A and B are shown apart, each in its own frame.
Chain A
Amino acid sequence: MVHDIARPVDGTPLVLLIDDCPDVHRLMRARLRHEELELASCMGGRQGLDEAIRRQPALVLLDLDMPDLDGFEVLRALKSHERTMDIPVIILSGVQSSQDKVTAFDLGAVDYITKPFNLTELRVRVRSSLKMHHLVQMLAQRAQIDGLTGLWNRAYFDKRWSDAVAAFERHGRPLSLAMIDLDHFKAINDTYGHPAGDSVLQGLARLLQREPRQEDVACRYGGEEFTLIMPETTPEEARHVCERIRTTLHAITWPRHPERAVTCSVGLAGAATPIELSAAEWLEAADRALYLAKQSGRNCIHTAELSPRLAQAG
């Protein structure tokens, strides 16, 4: 799967409880029944660690004293794994030990609750950790969004695209990439002013969010250049998607300049079957295709011929 930074920040947060004592699970479930959260249970440290990496909960409640893998070891592992290092962890302990508290906070725990739980305290601490996690996630997500268009920005694209190519290499499912560039954008800016130019950028961005399917990822690559990552999409299917975007954009009547239509050129590079191409090479191929679309008169789509690297080398 593609590393999913785009997971919605909203929705019911998942809380993972790792404790070897069944009673704690029952009690916690009853105590948190009225909270807006989903509670998942793991009875041991090792299983809990695997589950945390797999499901990436918004909060981990972690027992210290467990027979298979103790809480500190689980905490250390969580904090050193890329997928779980940012997840807040609250330590649950049966003992009031200053040394344990110091160790827990040193290892990166956000909080420490002593069993048996005081109901109010438990709820408040869980809520506060969830809220903090939500804010941090929202900020992280915002840093990857283009302010003008609301699309993903270049930084996000770079990461997401290399993830998409890695997934393509693993599973061999089709993958297509489009580079979309507004034609004569500078002239629009110069003639009608920057607010008009901004409207055009936003107009194309809206199309890019509306036209493709849910799993497609639209990004503002820079200036008037956009990218569209289309997983599970053959070059032929991608061409249809881009053709719809191209014709819809062309047909728009712009309030600031109704006399002037806006068009775009598209460079497309996709593969339906396994092909050896790095993310950077693939992106270059789409960029070259875009250049050729511009060369052949703009307002059109050019599809790159992607040949396997072996053939190129021979």
Chain B
Amino acid sequence: MTPEPSERLHSSHGTDPDLVELVRMFVDEMPARIAALQAAWEAEELSVVRRLAHQLAGASAGYGFDPVGDAARKLEARLTDRGPAETIRREFDDLVSLCSKVTV
């Protein structure tokens, strides 16, 4: 379920005093995560892509980015089931696109 395209994806925990620092850290680290995802994708190391997606699936909703978590979980499941290549491709792109929108 790709969300309506909006420039930014805000954390639902962005105002939680216990979490705001962590959310900021997660957002700051996001470019590195995207780079790792893309590098694994270019190298066709799908098991690494699956691992990274798995981590995003576990973490994103915790930081208040449920759509990222959903997309990551979808991709992870698709890679586990070895779904059609074009579906994997689309879901990978969806995930990267969502990741690049996160902000506090």
- The residues of A with any CB-CB pair to B shorter than 8 Å are 21, 23-24, 26-27, 30-31, 33-34, 65, 67, 94, 115-117
Query: What residues of A have a CB within 8 angstroms of the CB of B92 in the complex?
Result: none
Known: A30-B22, A31-B18, A33-B18. Contact between A24 and B54, CB under 8 A?
A: no
> Which of A23, A33, A34, A117 has a CB less than 8 Å from the CB of B26?
A23
- The residues of B with any CB-CB pair to A shorter than 8 Å are 18-19, 21-22, 25-26, 51, 54-55, 57-63, 66, 69, 73
Most-contacted residue by chain B among A26, A30, A34 (CB, 10 A): A30
The residue in chain A whose Cβ has the minimal distance to the Cβ of B59 is A23
Known: A33-B18, A94-B73, A116-B69. Contact between A27 and B54, CB under 8 A?
A: no
8 A-B pairs besides A33-B18, A67-B51 with CB distance below 8 A are A21-B59, A23-B59, A23-B63, A27-B19, A27-B59, A30-B22, A34-B18, A116-B60
Is the beta-carbon distance between B18 and A23 smaller than 8 angstroms? Answer: no
Is the beta-carbon distance between A26 and B25 smaller than 8 angstroms? Answer: yes
Most-contacted residue by chain A among B18, B26, B58, B61 (CB, 10 A): B58
Known: A21-B55, A94-B54, A94-B57. Contact between A27 and B73, CB under 8 A?
A: no
Known: A26-B25, A30-B18, A94-B73. Contact between A117 and B62, CB under 8 A?
A: yes
Most-contacted residue by chain A among B18, B51, B57, B62 (CB, 10 A): B62
The residue in chain B whose Cβ has the minimal distance to the Cβ of A26 is B22
Is the beta-carbon distance between A30 and B19 smaller than 8 angstroms? Answer: yes
Query: What residues of A have a CB within 8 angstroms of the CB of B51 in the complex?
Result: 67
**Distance, CA A65 to CA B59, complexed state (A):** 13
Query: What residues of A have a CB within 8 angstroms of the CB of B55 in the complex?
Result: 21, 23
Query: What residues of A have a CB within 8 angstroms of the CB of B19 in the complex?
Result: 27, 30
Query: What residues of A have a CB within 8 angstroms of the CB of B26 in the complex?
Result: 23
**Distance, CA A306 to CA B37, complexed state (A):** 70
The residue in chain A whose Cβ has the minimal distance to the Cβ of B72 is A94
The residue in chain A whose Cβ has the minimal distance to the Cβ of B18 is A30
**Distance, CA A116 to CA B66, complexed state (A):** 9
The residue in chain B whose Cβ has the minimal distance to the Cβ of A117 is B62
Is the beta-carbon distance between B22 and A24 smaller than 8 angstroms? Answer: no
Is the beta-carbon distance between B18 and A116 smaller than 8 angstroms? Answer: no
Is the beta-carbon distance between B18 and A24 smaller than 8 angstroms? Answer: no
The residue in chain B whose Cβ has the minimal distance to the Cβ of A20 is B55
Is the beta-carbon distance between B62 and A24 smaller than 8 angstroms? Answer: yes
Query: What residues of B have a CB within 8 angstroms of the CB of A116 in the complex?
Result: 58, 60-62, 66, 69
The residue in chain B whose Cβ has the minimal distance to the Cβ of A23 is B59
